[in-house]
Amino acid sequence: MENGKKINSLQGLRFVAFLAVFVLHISTLYKTINYATIAVSLFFIISGFVSCISINKYKNNFHDMLLYLKTKLKRLYPLYIISILIYLPVSLSMIFKYGVISIGKYIFSFVASVLLLQSWIPNSKYITIVANAGWFLSALMFLYLITIPLHKFISNINKKNKVSTNIIIILCSLLMIVAYHYVVPKSGYLHYYFPIYRIFEYIIGIVLWNIFVEIKKHNISSIIVSTLEIISILVLGVMPFLKVIYVDYLFVAMNTILLLSIVLGNGLVGKLLSNKLLVWLGNISFEMYLLHFPILIYTFFIWDKIMPTAIITILLYVLVSLLLTIMISYIIHYKLGGLVMYGKTAKNK
């Protein structure tokens, strides 16, 4: 299963989602189109999806909940600390040079970030100043902690794993997102960083796995799968231009269709994402996700001083930053023994 095309297409999709986040952080330096909100939502759905692969060996008790969380931390935490240290000069400059927050508040934020608790602080400055992308891991740790009870809850609702019941659960999750969207006051924190908000996407990922297991038993037409892929990509692609990107339930629904159609593996996009290069890049996507922002910042500081501002130089800056991110992520993932999630692939390449 891990080496099949379905998983390969998922790894390729990871890299594409990373590129969307990469483009967002380019937009903090240059004005570009923002697809990151869609990509981050997709990452949480994927996380729920892949949590099903090894969950059956754990029991629904507090001991196994902590054991599952510990297993994830052992794979993720070393790289996370490395990313904090790499970003440290940048975060310190925000304190001493630009005075973004006080030293005392920075120390508080630093401790919270090291403990992976920053996503629970309702202030974006505290959340991102120590490790820009670390909030995702903070929220993910909470979801990992409740993964086993969530699986048990879903399996109790749908003991026979009927596709129709799974679809109803997904629709209910989307309705909960709609309710959250209209009931909870709109804010960058509550509708982006807050871990509770991400539960619904994570549940959708879990249920999507159950649907995938049932559907893969049948030969679904490649034409149908390709059509679903193309429709979801087109809708997601135009959302930023229509200024509806923050209509949360809409792009979550499209991400759900996109992920299911791609992991089926027999559509045009799924086959494209199963390309060896994209799969290889997908294998190091988590390293790239955590490391790319400090690399972008350091490269920008140098680039801005030595190169004139022009379209060609901006494109070169993006290319150089991306290549540096890939190279460093490759070294950490494959040459240092695989310090993060999916690191075992380093031994099976």
In the predicted model, is pLDDT for residue 349 greater than 50?
Answer: no
In the predicted model, is pLDDT for residue 247 greater than 90?
Answer: no
Instruction: Place 336 in a pLDDT band, splitting at 50, 70 and 90.
Output: confident
Looking at every residue in the chain, the average pLDDT score rounds to 85
In the predicted model, is pLDDT for residue 344 greater than 80?
Answer: no
CA distance 176 to 107: 36
Domain containing residue 267: 58-274
In the predicted model, is pLDDT for residue 3 greater than 60?
Answer: no
Whole-number pLDDT of residue 337 = 57
Instruction: Place 28 in a pLDDT band, splitting at 50, 70 and 90.
Output: low
- For residue 158, being part of any structural domain is answered with yes
- For residue 323, being part of any structural domain is answered with no
Whole-number pLDDT of residue 245 = 47
Phi, psi at residue 132, to the nearest 5°?
-55, -45
**% pLDDT > 90, the chain:** 49
- For residue 47, being part of any structural domain is answered with no
225: which residues sit within 8 A by CB, 6+ positions away? 261, 264, 266, 267, 270
**% pLDDT > 70, the chain:** 88
Spell out the SS3 assignment of the chain.
Answer: CCCCHHHHHHHHHHHHHHHHHHHHHHHCCCCCCCCHHHHHHHHHHHHHHHCCCCHHHCCCCHHHHHHHHHHHHHHHHHHHHHHHHHHHHHHHHHHHCCCCCCHHHHHHHHHHHHCCCHHHCCCHHHHHCCCCCHHHHHHHHHHHHCHHHHHHHHHHHCCCCCHHHHHHHHHHHHHHHHHHHHHCCCCCHHHHHCHHHHHHHHHHHHHHHHHHHHHCCCCCCHHHHHHHHHHHHHHHHHHHHHCCCCCHHHHHHHHHHHHHHHHHCCCHHHHHHCCHHHHHHHHCHHHHHHHHHHHHHHHHHHHHHHCCCCHHHHHHHHHHHHHHHHHHHHHHHHHCCCCCCCHHHHHCC
Instruction: Place 348 in a pLDDT band, splitting at 50, 70 and 90.
Output: very low
Residue 78 tokens read as 């070393």
Whole-number pLDDT of residue 94 = 81
Give the pLDDT mean for 272-293: 92
Whole-number pLDDT of residue 248 = 65
Higher pLDDT, 5 or 337: 337
In the predicted model, is pLDDT for residue 208 greater than 90?
Answer: yes
- For residue 240, being part of any structural domain is answered with yes
Instruction: Place 273 in a pLDDT band, splitting at 50, 70 and 90.
Output: very high
What is the tally of structural domains in the chain? 1
- For residue 143, being part of any structural domain is answered with yes
Whole-number pLDDT of residue 309 = 64
- For residue 166, being part of any structural domain is answered with yes
pLDDT digits (tens, 9 = 90+) for 84-108: 999 999 888 888 877 788 899 999 9
Instruction: Place 243 in a pLDDT band, splitting at 50, 70 and 90.
Output: low
Instruction: Place 244 in a pLDDT band, splitting at 50, 70 and 90.
Output: low
Give the pLDDT mean for 301-325: 81
pLDDT digits (tens, 9 = 90+) for 281-290: 999 999 999 9
CB 190 within 8 A of CB 120: no
Whole-number pLDDT of residue 342 = 42
